[in-house]
Chain A
Amino acid sequence: MTAVALRRAGAQHPEAGAALLVMAAWLLLFLLIAGGAPMQDLHAALHAGAAVPAEALGWLTMTTATMVPTALPVARRLALTSLWRRRGRTIALFLASYVAVWGLFGAAVLPLVALLGSDAATLLPAVLLVAAAWAFCPAKWRAVRACRLVDPLPPSGWTADRACWRTGVRYGQRCVLACWPLMLAMAIAGHAAIGLMLLLSAVAVAEKRAAEPSRLARAAASVLVLAACVSAIVPPA
């Protein structure tokens, strides 16, 4: 690819940097789980040495890997309608506030999961079935569609920053409403369950990006029921 073509691709897709961050998050998760003894030792040491920061970091990495991809089209749209010099800032603010909302969700859920200890894993099939049932609730699809309602931002200054942050928060709230069972399942399974994370992330991305999202209800529910069955037979590591 020539430099000109690369520059054009960058101009058309200002969210490319965020997409690279997502890939980095996936890579980090893969390395920690399947990257051989040194990485696995590091992973175990992190959890043993500083449990809360390690859990927070794990949740942040997992959210970046699984949920940020669902927000990339909106990030692109916001960047393309921002001043050129503010495109990166717009994406950073929007995604930071979006991830922060999921961070709050994690802060509420992870302590409960920790409290349950090893019993939490037994809840995973049930939570996946709840996610499947949620796919048939109109409220879920209203929330998915509402994720598309993004107001134009002020052009510059702190008002633009504030509006961008608020947009991320509002988008995050709608996304939590739409995808909470999926992320609850991931919180229970933990960031070591790479396969499940990939599957649930794919479901969330498909739901958010489909032109007619609610048509995916049956397919999404089927996948989730299957995942519930598998997790009941073979609990995630």
Chain B
Amino acid sequence: MAQYVRRDIWGLSETDPWHPIIEAYALGVRELQRPERAEPLTWAYQAKIHALPRGVAGDQFLAQCQHFCWFFLPWHRLYLYYFERIVRAAIQTLDEVDEDVKAQWALPYWNYERNDAARSLPPAFRDQTLAGRGEPNPLFIRQRKPGRNQGTPLDPNDVRSDLARLPREFAFPDGSVGGFAGPAVGPSHVGEVAGADSGELENAPHGSVHVQVGGLRQAGDPQDGLMAIFATAGLDPLFWLHHCNLDRLWEMWLGEDDAHVNPPAGSPFYAPSFHFHDEAGAAVAKTAEFAVDTAGNLEYTYEDITPPAPPRRRGRRRTTTPMSEDAATNPPEFVGGTPKPIRLAGAEERVSFETARPTGPMARRGGGRPERVYLRFEGITGEQPGITYAVYLNLPDDDATAADPEDYYVGNLAFFGVERAGDVDTDRPGGHGLNHAFDVTELVEALDDDDEWDPQEVRVTLSPVHSSGDAVRRRRGGAGPDPDAAETPAVQIGRVSVYYR
């Protein structure tokens, strides 16, 4: 039976910015950061479990985070679980923590969708001193995006989970696109599997929150932009609360539709073992089979997994309809894309291309309409993630138009991990660029119904998100030039394309 309840940090903060559970977390982090502490139970070691700097090879424990594959969710769940046990054990050694808190303490989650205020970092993470004690606050990290430590909220589209929770399917096989969790391929640290995409949840809010909290890594400061970089993300105490929320969103996805299920028993999803250390420093190896039972094996539940009211979206939720066997088992068909790579460097970019009539299995199926339409970004490379970009499909060119940009909104594109995407110095990562596909089925249907979809000219707009809401403000003519646009590092997208299924 579940013994621990993970609670919303903003719910706790509304009661008291230094609620005892938050304060205990800070004290636990402080304990892990003590120089006399031995590995593997140190703060630095826990961060290195996620990733190591470029060119440094890991082992079965270090540099093991799973990305761009369906193990993204269970690996991070296990990672959080053992981290939580280590922090709890550290807290339980402290006289200054109340016995009730010691007994109940569980990692809080950052529910950035709770309300507008919750899009800002929780107050305890912005406070430079620990609960009025006059000592440095281990939850405060200077190396975050400018403004975040002053309370600047994240963009609403960077934190929304409704689009991530749309896919009906947990994962699709290798060579496919789409799915909630990521492609059903072998273990992948930073995209070792060629052509594998990130899952919907992994792109946003996962990647977008990482990037928009961490910000840019300035030249000469290897510790800058902690949350935005694979190798340093775990050094920001907020990382763990962000991933705790993503773990909660997995539970939310499972609970909101009977069709939302984890892979069936016997699936290769349950085969690989992942290695961690428990609070005694003993090595443990667990599979996804252990991870999927949160209340039983992992002894925790979430305070609330009620789906938030989704923002208004154009179109119907066609993606919730079951996919035919033919569509599910055949690979998606590429029907058109940009002929050249595009470069994003902090300014708005627009591209257009034509799509061809499908001639593969979809065409033979009859009916003429694809069951799924994907807008895919392929072969993404760059030195660091920089910022996120709001993606729009067939957005009218005229800025002065009365059209609401949200009616053409696809999703926010994040590049978390891009700095490792082309790395060939070590086996893991393996040197592929990033890929992400948005399921735009319902949007294309709505555009088609309103005669705004022309296969001869698909227009894609990528609008930079420097500050909260500025992509939409810019589209409405309400935002001036971006003050930090010139500093935004460039990211290259190999191809923007459309796939039918």
**CB distance A77 to B195 under 8 Å?**
yes
Question: Assuming A12-B331, A142-B425, A149-B424, is B356 touching A83 (CB within 8 A)?
Answer: yes
Question: Assuming A11-B330, A146-B424, is B360 touching A84 (CB within 8 A)?
Answer: yes
> Does A215 touch B at the CB level, under 8 Å?
yes
- Within 8 Å by CB of B330, from A12, A73, A214, lies A12
Q: Which of B208-216, B245-253, B332-340, B400-408 contacts A (4 or more CB under 8 A)?
A: B332-340
> Does B419 touch A at the CB level, under 8 Å?
no
Nearest neighbor of A8 in chain B, beta-carbon distance: B329
What residues of chain B lie closer than 8 Å to A151, measured between beta carbons?
341, 379, 433, 494
What residues of chain A lie closer than 8 Å to B340, measured between beta carbons?
154
What residues of chain A lie closer than 8 Å to B335, measured between beta carbons?
83
A contact residues, range? 20 to 34
Nearest neighbor of B423 in chain A, beta-carbon distance: A145
Complex-state Cα separation, A153 to B330, whole angstroms: 21
**CB distance A156 to B187 under 8 Å?**
no
**CB distance A141 to B427 under 8 Å?**
yes
What residues of chain B lie closer than 8 Å to A80, measured between beta carbons?
175, 195, 331, 334
**CB distance B175 to A76 under 8 Å?**
yes
- Could you tell me the distance in whole angstroms from the C-beta of A137 to the nearest C-beta in chain B? 13
**CB distance A211 to B192 under 8 Å?**
yes
Contact with A along B418-429 (1 / 0, CB 8 A): 000010111110
What residues of chain A lie closer than 8 Å to B494, measured between beta carbons?
151-152
Contact with A along B356-388 (1 / 0, CB 8 A): 101111000000000000000011000000000
Question: Assuming A74-B194, A154-B339, A214-B427, is B432 touching A149 (CB within 8 A)?
Answer: yes
> Does B495 touch A at the CB level, under 8 Å?
yes
Complex-state Cα separation, A148 to B430, whole angstroms: 7
CB interface residues, A 178-209, toward B, < 8 Å: none
Complex-state Cα separation, A159 to B378, whole angstroms: 18
> Does B431 touch A at the CB level, under 8 Å?
yes
- Could you tell me the distance in whole angstroms from the C-beta of B355 to the nearest C-beta in chain A? 9
> Does A35 touch B at the CB level, under 8 Å?
no
What residues of chain A lie closer than 8 Å to B330, measured between beta carbons?
8, 11-12
**CB distance A149 to B431 under 8 Å?**
yes
> Does B497 touch A at the CB level, under 8 Å?
yes
Majority SS at the chain B contact face: loop
**CB distance A150 to B336 under 8 Å?**
no
What residues of chain B lie closer than 8 Å to A66, measured between beta carbons?
none
What residues of chain A lie closer than 8 Å to B356, measured between beta carbons?
83, 155-156
Nearest neighbor of B187 in chain A, beta-carbon distance: A211
Nearest neighbor of B335 in chain A, beta-carbon distance: A83
Most-contacted residue by chain B among A12, A141, A159, A215 (CB, 10 A) = A12
**CB distance A83 to B334 under 8 Å?**
yes
Complex-state Cα separation, A153 to B337, whole angstroms: 9
**CB distance A146 to B339 under 8 Å?**
no
**CB distance A149 to B433 under 8 Å?**
yes
CB interface residues, A 101-147, toward B, < 8 Å: 141-142, 145-146
- Could you tell me the distance in whole angstroms from the C-beta of A78 to the nearest C-beta in chain B? 9
> Does B20 touch A at the CB level, under 8 Å?
no
Complex-state Cα separation, A110 to B19, whole angstroms: 76
**CB distance A145 to B430 under 8 Å?**
yes
- Within 8 Å by CB of B427, from A8, A82, A146, A213, lies A213
**CB distance B427 to A155 under 8 Å?**
no
**CB distance A148 to B497 under 8 Å?**
no
> Does B186 touch A at the CB level, under 8 Å?
yes
- Could you tell me the distance in whole angstroms from the C-beta of A211 to the nearest C-beta in chain B? 5
**CB distance A149 to B175 under 8 Å?**
no
**CB distance A148 to B431 under 8 Å?**
yes
Complex-state Cα separation, A117 to B367, whole angstroms: 66
What residues of chain A lie closer than 8 Å to B192, measured between beta carbons?
211-212
> Does B353 touch A at the CB level, under 8 Å?
yes
- Within 8 Å by CB of B339, from A159, A212, A213, lies A159
**CB distance A73 to B194 under 8 Å?**
yes
7 contacts between A and B (CB under 8 A): A81-B195, A83-B356, A84-B333, A145-B427, A148-B432, A152-B379, A211-B186
Q: List residues of A whose CB falls within 8 A of some B CB.
A: 7-8, 11-12, 73-74, 76-77, 80-85, 141-142, 145-146, 148-156, 159, 211-215
Q: For the A-B complex with A81-B334, A145-B424, A155-B353 known, give 5 more contacts whose Cβ atoms are closer than 8 Å.
A: A11-B331, A11-B361, A80-B195, A83-B335, A155-B339
